[in-house]
Structure 1
Amino acid sequence: MTQSVVVQVGQCGNQVGCRFWDLALREHAHVNKKGLYDEALSSFFRNVDSRKSDGGACGVGGRIQHLKARAVLVDMEEGVVNEILQGPLREVFDSTQLLTDVSGSGNNWAVGHMMYGSAYREQIVDKLRKAAEHCDCLQCFFLIHSMGGGTGSGLGTRVLSLLEEEFPEVCRIVTSVYPSAEDDVITSPYNSVLAMRELTEHAACVLPVENQSLVDIVSKIKHMSHGGKQGPMIKRESTIISGQGGLSGSEKPFDAMNNILANLLLNITSSARFEGSLNMDLNEIAMNLVPFPRLHYLVPSLTPLYTLADVSVPTRRLDQMFSDAFSKDHQLIRADPKHSLYLACALMVRGNVQVSDLRRNIERLRPSLPFVSWNQEGWKTSLCSVPPVGHAHSLLALANNTCVKPSFMELRERFNKLYRKKAHLHHYLQVEGMEQSCFSEAISSLSSLIEEYSHLDATKGRLMHDTPRLRIVR
């Protein structure tokens, strides 16, 4: 059985990661009624014997055993990690796998990447190695971070480069949360573009998620659940929109958004955690969906999001779920993949779904989805038999699609608006090791990435002209 390690960096990374562990434990408890440590649990948890019993323990064979998350938690502020350690999941995290400071990175990529990256390099590497040593067969590192602040963008991408350096053969899947245009961190365009260069160079694949898309999704769900036209269909206790994410106290503004991200991680890891008739190895994602090394940004979409209750007409509901996966309302970035070019696409299905259902829906949708001419059969599929708690089935679609280009162009424009005035530049340049050339190289890398997507987009017109397309049946 293969194992994976989750690396959480910065406030956002740790909050999302904590919510993932909370929901993952719920799923395993729902399936594993006897509380036995098995292969499914071993994929993301390790078993630690202890004489002391507490809420995170279960008795097996006369011994008290504790689950410990295969995780490394890093933050240059103590707040979120301390809150986790005082919350209901405190026993799940090994204290030797935590790394915190007190001062933070001041929303400055250079402080996180250069200063803290150098100061804590040996400690980070040591914790990553220890996490790896606890694995019999390490398959993947999941890195969770945000792009707008200093620690997530700066130290997060430094950790990513250390992962490549120390474990070059192990897949690195990164979930990156991009700031909205109205982000209250004035330097977020700098941080994001500087981080983008590192993601492009060092990640196996990146799942970009935009804050604004999460805000829009949560707003729509809340509208529906409070008297909107589909209100009766919303499960108010759904793991998509409610719960504390393992943190104590009342629900916070970002909790619902973090829950969506945690569900993204639950779905992408489901094949590694449970049995299925068509399971997908995590390293197959990059192998099958990334035809060009730099073009590894995979647009995620989740269903169900809005109609969360089970409906009495399973086949129709199942077909709708597949259609929704390609709707712009279900994308976790503001994009419409149906009107852009597909390089490849993965469908990761959970629940009581047959291979025939999967094939039928691919054939139904295929005519309306423009694929590059040399990869018309570029579909990767997986079926995991265990659905999310409370649902009959779910679907995560990962699209390697040129629709990411407008988001990257918008980010470049926000960067240039600041950089033309050299605004706030001195805060970065006073950090040892940081030079102005870092900015020009980062924006050049982003422009080159945009250009590569543009070249592919140029082929779409010919493809659409040559091949008749049908509309998706709704």
Structure 2
Amino acid sequence: MSNCIVIQVGQCGNQIGGRFWDMVLQEHARNNKRGIYDDALATFFRNVKTNRAGCSNVEVGDGKGRITGLRARGVMIDMEPGVIDQIRRSPLSELFGEEQQVVSNSGSGNNWAVGNCVYGPQYREEILEAVRKQAEFCPSLQSFFMLGSLGGGTGSGLGSYVCEMLYDEYPEVYRFHAPIMPSANDDVVTSPYNSILSLSKLIDTADCVLPIENEALLDIFQRVTQQTETGVQARKRRMALTDSGDAAMGGMCGVGARKTHPFDAMNNIAANLLMNMTSSMRFEGTMNVDINDIVTNLVPFPRMKFLLSSMTPLYTLTDARPPPRRLDQMFIDAFSRDCQLIRAEPKTSRYLACALIARGDVEVSDLRRNIERMSLQLKFPSWNREGWKTGLCSVPPLGQSRCLLSLANNCCIRQNLDILHSRFRKLYRRKANLHHYTAHIDVADIANSAENVRDIIAEYSSQEFK
């Protein structure tokens, strides 16, 4: 039994985190109808009705469907109270004690330097104590999952500070970071600075970085809503803490009579990445993939740690009914541009390594057959021609019979990083808005961060053209 702690930082991180906790509860409730605290639940939750961390087979709730008596293995951090206040007013508040929340009212002003250099040291002990308490409840802590954005001040600045803090304090625990990359028409004028400064820190302190682009999520949302119909699943009402039973999205973001905001659905897609990625840890399957397998198999060089993620079928609501897909077609989709969580075309670039995690009605023979077929179409380096890692989880996602997650270390990520670097250079050449940062950090630190990102782009380019 492995345990994971989710640390959600800033407005974006807490919005995605809210959707993740909502949906993962629904998933466990569907597969744990007796309401028993088991190893699957213990990955992301602890039982607050016992002082024995990791105690198994303890009845939770009435044992008839509704799961209660849990605390999330998570920490919420934000320098503005808005999103965390929404969570506090929702059913999700039962998952988080006061000791799991680090909140301020001042905000970071969309400035990485304020989040990293001001609020980082100011709140270091409070954040460290919140993480320490969660770690003490974990009998087998294996990884930290961090959620946040690159474009803002808190998610990028304080988020990268927390990642560096975990690197120092918990060097043996894997650190996964899923940063949301800003779009080209982002309304935060300083987002290029924030992105480069944050990326530089993540290159040095995270074990795996799983970038997600806002533009790619919006593309997926628009495409999926044209292809799917949504409705209430055939599930028992109130079968999870957050499940109202009559809202298409369930939980705290249940849409009711109001129109669904695209960001609600976009956050669902990002949350699904974490759920599918950890499915083999939480549920039984023919070929389980532990989280350390991902680092070991997909990061061949310590600095080249950016993983492209894609999922198929894609759906934005927990009650979506996507058109049925043949299994072989799902494998084709997983490597297509349309299913990537960043705007990229991986098939035109070199794969350093790739992992496939299938859930539901999939056989080992299906995986092997399709890997053999795709290997003829994809480019792998000569030193890693069999660079595949496969996992098979018997439990399908909510509302689907099966799904496929692809995680790939692919050289095409250099193009997305280069776009961010180009946006940075346009501002930096003119020293625009630079004085907001030099009040807290030296100009040389900014230049070094840009060079660090430039170096990783060059490293991916060298592998592409070897």
Asked if these proteins are the same fold (TM beyond 0.5), I'd say yes
CA contact (8 A) 1:197 1:446 kept: yes
Counterpart among 246, 249, 263 of residue 243 in structure 1? 249
Displacement over 6 Å in runs of 4+: none
Counting only pairs closer than 5 Å after superposition, residues 188-203 of structure 1 correspond to structure 2 as: 188-203=191-206
User: Where does residue 231 of structure 1 map in the other structure?
Assistant: none
Give the letter for the 1:439 counterpart.
I
Change (3 A) 1:101 1:310: closer
User: Where does residue 213 of structure 2 map in the other structure?
Assistant: 210
Give the letter for the 1:450 counterpart.
I
CA contact (8 A) 1:148 1:192 kept: yes
User: Where does residue 339 of structure 1 map in the other structure?
Assistant: 348
Counting only pairs closer than 5 Å after superposition, residues 68-467 of structure 1 correspond to structure 2 as: 68-225=71-228, 234-236=229-231, 243=249, 246-247=252-253, 250=258, 251-305=260-314, 309=321, 317-431=326-440, 434-459=441-466
For 2:187 and 2:250, how far apart are their aligned partners in 1? 24
For 2:431 and 2:388, how far apart are their aligned partners in 1? 45
For 1:389 and 1:223, how far apart are their aligned partners in 2? 20
Percent identity for Structure 1 against Structure 2: 53
CA contact (8 A) 2:248 2:254 kept: no
For 1:185 and 1:370, how far apart are their aligned partners in 2? 37
- Deviation by residue 1:110-145 (Cα, 9 ceiling, x = unmatched): 000010001001111111111100000001100011
TM-score computed with the length of structure 2 as normaliser:
0.90
Change (3 A) 1:423 1:91: same
- In the TM superposition, residue 172 of structure 1 has moved relative to its aligned partner by 0.6
- In the TM superposition, residue 57 of structure 1 has moved relative to its aligned partner by 6.2
- Asked whether 1:31 is paired with 2:31, we answer yes
User: Where does residue 49 of structure 2 map in the other structure?
Assistant: 49
For 1:187 and 1:219, how far apart are their aligned partners in 2? 28
- Deviation by residue 1:46-75 (Cα, 9 ceiling, x = unmatched): 00129xxxxx961369xx960111001000
CA contact (8 A) 1:351 1:392 kept: yes
CA contact (8 A) 2:9 2:146 kept: yes
CA contact (8 A) 1:84 1:90 kept: yes
For 1:454 and 1:418, how far apart are their aligned partners in 2? 24
CA contact (8 A) 2:174 2:207 kept: yes
User: Where does residue 53 of structure 2 map in the other structure?
Assistant: none
For 1:235 and 1:376, how far apart are their aligned partners in 2? 41
For 1:32 and 1:276, how far apart are their aligned partners in 2? 16
CA contact (8 A) 2:34 2:63 kept: no
For this pair of structures, how many residues does the alignment match? 438
For 1:311 and 1:258, how far apart are their aligned partners in 2? 21
For 2:122 and 2:33, how far apart are their aligned partners in 1? 45
Change (3 A) 1:306 1:74: closer
Change (3 A) 1:283 1:451: same
- Asked whether 1:17 is paired with 2:55, we answer no
Change (3 A) 1:31 1:159: same
CA contact (8 A) 1:15 1:245 kept: no
- Deviation by residue 1:392-430 (Cα, 9 ceiling, x = unmatched): 101110010001011111111100000011000111111
Q: Which moved more, 1:112-121 or 1:64-73?
A: 64-73
For 2:159 and 2:212, how far apart are their aligned partners in 1? 16
Give the letter for the 1:85 counterpart.
R
CA contact (8 A) 1:147 1:176 kept: yes
- Deviation by residue 1:318-354 (Cα, 9 ceiling, x = unmatched): 1111110000000011101100000000001110211
Change (3 A) 1:222 1:309: closer
> Where does structure 1 lack aligned partners over 5 or more consecutive residues?
51-55, 226-233, 460-474
- In the TM superposition, residue 245 of structure 1 has moved relative to its aligned partner by 5.9
Q: Which moved more, 1:324-333 or 1:241-250?
A: 241-250
Partner SS state of residue 369, structure 1 = coil
- Deviation by residue 1:232-291 (Cα, 9 ceiling, x = unmatched): xx445589x962662477543411110000111110011111111111110111111000
For 2:350 and 2:435, how far apart are their aligned partners in 1? 40
CA contact (8 A) 1:88 1:247 kept: no
- In the TM superposition, residue 221 of structure 1 has moved relative to its aligned partner by 1.6
Change (3 A) 1:245 1:400: farther
For 1:153 and 1:94, how far apart are their aligned partners in 2? 25
CA contact (8 A) 2:112 2:158 kept: yes
For 2:225 and 2:407, how far apart are their aligned partners in 1? 25
Change (3 A) 1:343 1:27: same
For 2:289 and 2:381, how far apart are their aligned partners in 1? 23
CA contact (8 A) 2:177 2:206 kept: yes
CA contact (8 A) 2:150 2:182 kept: yes
Root-mean-square deviation (Å): 2.1
For 1:192 and 1:244, how far apart are their aligned partners in 2? 33
CA contact (8 A) 2:280 2:392 kept: yes
- In the TM superposition, residue 362 of structure 1 has moved relative to its aligned partner by 0.4
- Deviation by residue 1:336-380 (Cα, 9 ceiling, x = unmatched): 110000000000111021111110110111100000111000000
For 1:311 and 1:441, how far apart are their aligned partners in 2? 48
Q: Which moved more, 1:341-350 or 1:215-224?
A: 215-224
